[in-house]
């Protein structure tokens, strides 16, 4: 039990679909993150939220839209994705933004057809 | 921006062997993390350290600040240690910079 739960674990979508990834943390952390992991590449930071406010956005295409309604929940809304967006999307949380130990979810494996 | 290099990229060991994975970085840091990723995808934090040495069970992490280098050691390796081990660093409040990982396979 990592304390960070992601759903769905696997998602297959067409390029015209709209879907969302969900992340929930039960650790009382103030910061949450979305990372993208593609084959043979290091983890790439997409978004950082601190107390529901976005503090970091690493030039991510607008077809990825994050939402943080409260400090325990984080969403990644997906629309008109491209096949090259297929990857493992990992959610994480920590006590503060870019500080302290990171706790990761199990990841959502996304395939875009 | 910090550059993080890990070696080796791939490592195969016999059960019981002592294993060392290395991580080097280019710019002074506030913390270095060792993470473990199993085939299912989930990532577990093993250590966060800024100086000296930490030990947890059969795992030992060391860091040399002057040389900008850290090592992760696994004693008495076991097939369940098979995973990708990832080094990551940050400086001040900057986001973590990750290495590409070391894929470890321990054969019974």
pLDDT tens-digit readout, B76-94: 999 999 999 999 998 887 8
> Residue A97: its pLDDT value, please?
87
B84 strand-pairing partners: B37, B103
| Structure-token pair, residue A1 | 């039990």
> Residue A2: its pLDDT value, please?
55
Query: What is the rounded distance in angstroms from the CA atom of residue B103 to the CA atom of residue B101?
Result: 6
Measured on CA atoms in the order A95, A96, A99, A104, is the torsion positive or negative?
positive
B41/A45 CB distance under 8 A? no
Query: What is the rounded distance in angstroms from the CA atom of residue A88 to the CA atom of residue A110?
Result: 6
A39-69 confidence digits (pLDDT tens)? 888 899 999 999 888 887 778 999 999 999 9
**DSSP annotation of A85:** G
- A25 torsion bin: left (phi>0), alpha (psi -120 to 50), beta (else): beta
A79-96 confidence digits (pLDDT tens)? 999 999 999 999 999 998
Percent of chain B with pLDDT over 70: 100
Residues of A in contact with B48 (CB under 8 A): 100-101
> Residue B92: its pLDDT value, please?
80
B50-73 confidence digits (pLDDT tens)? 999 999 999 999 999 999 999 999
Question: Which chain B residue has the Cα nearest residue A5?
Answer: B42
Spatial contact of B104 and B8, defined as CB atoms under 8 Å apart: no
Residues of A in contact with B83 (CB under 8 A): none
For A25-39, what is the mean pLDDT?
94
B43/A104 CB distance under 8 A? yes
Nearest neighbour of A102 by CB, restricted to B4, B33, B93: B33
A2/B44 CB distance under 8 A? yes
């Amino acid at each position: 039990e990592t304390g960070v739960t992601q759903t769905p674990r696997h998602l297959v979508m067409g390029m015209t679909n709209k879907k969302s990834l969900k992340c929930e943390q039960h650790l009382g952390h103030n910061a949450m993150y979305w990372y993208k992991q593609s084959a043979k590449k290091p983890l790439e930071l997409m978004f950082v939220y601190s107390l529901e406010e976005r503090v970091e956005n690493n030039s991510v295409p607008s077809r990825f839209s994050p939402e943080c309604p409260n400090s325990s929940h984080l969403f990644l809304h997906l629309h008109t994705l491209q096949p090259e967006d297929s990857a493992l999307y990992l959610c994480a949380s920590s006590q503060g933004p870019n500080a302290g130990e990171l706790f990761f979810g199990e990841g959502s494996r996304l395939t875009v057809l | 921006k910090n550059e993080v290099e890990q070696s080796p990229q791939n490592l195969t060991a016999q059960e019981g062997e002592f294993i060392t994975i290395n991580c080097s970085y280019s710019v002074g840091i506030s913390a270095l993390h060792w993470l473990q990723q199993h085939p299912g995808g989930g990532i577990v934090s093993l250590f966060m350290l800024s100086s000296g040495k930490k030990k947890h069970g059969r795992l030992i992490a060391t860091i040399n600040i002057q040389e900008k280098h850290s090592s992760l050691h696994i004693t008495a390796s076991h097939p369940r240690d098979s995973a990708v081990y990832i080094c990551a660093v940050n400086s001040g409040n900057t986001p973590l910079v990750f290495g590409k990982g070391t894929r470890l396979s321990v054969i019974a």
